[in-house]
Amino acid sequence: MNYKLMIWSLFFHITSSGIVSAQQIDGYDFKNGDLLFQNLDCGPLCDAIETVTRGIDGSKFSHIGMVYRRNDSVYVLEAIGSDVHLTPLHSFLKRSSHKVYIGRVKKRYAKIADRAVVNAISKIGVAYDDVFIYNNGKYYCSELIYDAFKAANDDKPFFRLQPMTFKELETNAFFNVWVDYYKELNMPIPEGKPGINPGGISRSRNIRILNK
């Protein structure tokens, strides 16, 4: 199976399916730098990610984006599909029937959040990191957020990188979907390499979840 093709097919499906989020938050008073945590239900790859990454209160997250307000419109800065880009909030919410969690930095970090948005905007058009390796000139969803906040925090980590795992917790064996995925890429699975995921960010002490 061509897993990279499957990713694009799933992305097309979830962005065009017309599903409305279980929690309507279009009218929410968003601030620049708010973080949106999403369970995409994108199949085996998302299932594998959610199995080994723990979100706040046990929630399952496979994607994250950052709010950007422009005049009266609300957008989401995100790395998904082919690159980093802006997505209208209503389009973001249509991807999943699951509750979208809203994270906001604590008040003392508000200026950092503003600067993080500016940094993320400068990354629009950067290619999506489909190999999930940190600092390779591309971005996956939570990597974009990590680097944006790091740059905004005088190049000091605002969130924490952790060793990545692609293994089942019960058996300590690699998920078959990741074995096939990296085989197609003709590269080793980056087990233990530093990385970050939406669940880890949701549990950061630097933010609070507004709608638990």
The CATH code of the domain that includes 50 is 3.90.1720.10
Handedness of CA 154, 87, 182, 191 (dihedral sign): positive
Residues 119-141 have a mean pLDDT of 97
Residue 42 scores a pLDDT above 80: no
Residue 19 scores a pLDDT above 50: no
Residue 20 scores a pLDDT above 60: no
For the chain, give the mean pLDDT: 88
Q: How far apart are CA 98 and CA 64, in angstroms?
A: 13
What are the pLDDT digits (tens) for 149-183? 999 999 999 999 999 999 998 899 999 999 999 99
CA distances from 53 to 63, 160, 207 (A): 12, 14, 18
Check residues 10 and 144 and name the one with the higher pLDDT: 144
Q: pLDDT at position 25, please? A: 63
Helices (H), 63-158: 89-93, 110-121, 141-152
Q: pLDDT at position 22, please? A: 36
Q: pLDDT at position 68, please? A: 97
> How many domains are contained in the chain?
1
Owning domain of residue 171: 3-209
Q: Identify whether the C-beta of residue 104 lies closer than 8 Å to the C-beta of residue 201.
A: no
Handedness of CA 32, 155, 129, 180 (dihedral sign): negative
pLDDT band at 27 (very low <50, low <70, confident <90, very high): low
Residue 23 scores a pLDDT above 50: no
CA distances from 183 to 12, 62, 106, 163 (A): 24, 22, 42, 21
Q: Identify whether the C-beta of residue 178 lies closer than 8 Å to the C-beta of residue 51.
A: no
